Amino acid sequence: MSTPTDPHDEQPTSPSPQPPRRPWIGSNVLIIVYSALLVVVFCIIGFAPYTETFIEAVRKMFQRSSLRSTDVSETASTAIVEETTSACVIVWVEHKPDNLGQKSRATVWEENVSDRVKASGMTPREFYKLVVEHNPQLIRDEYEFKKGKVYLLPKCQ
């Protein structure tokens, strides 16, 4: 005859197997956080050399532009004077075509113009806009200065 089984003698059933847990290093949230951190670091590294230009652009966004154009004759060339409330007056004069070939407006600003008009308070954004107004051929040349052409560039006077 069979002996009755005692319910206390049976071994407890094991819980259902759990899927293996992924380590915290491989979690999706952590990957997204690391990616965002890398983007921020690269942005800081990329924009660090241009902080002055960025700060000037932000400051000028909240100020009114006080530039007015008037014609002025200069020796052998026509120049345009723009009055500002700063220490100098901006005059647009012909620039010798020797060192402008294959340069963008940003490069010309940094290498040729920024130091000459620093006292006027002109910003790179104002220069980019005004240089095209004074040199419409830049539009045809895809905003690139070409070697051998004569351009009007600003200068403090």
- Domain layout of the chain by residue ranges: 26-61, 68-156
pLDDT per position as a tens digit, 14-66: 667 777 766 666 677 778 888 899 888 887 777 767 777 777 777 777 776 55
Of the CA atoms within 13 Å of residue 85, those in its CB half-sphere come to 4
Q: Is 70 within 8 Å of 83 (Cβ atoms)?
A: yes
pLDDT per position as a tens digit, 80-116: 555 545 578 889 999 877 778 888 899 999 988 988 8
156 phi and psi angles, rounded to 5 deg: -80, 140
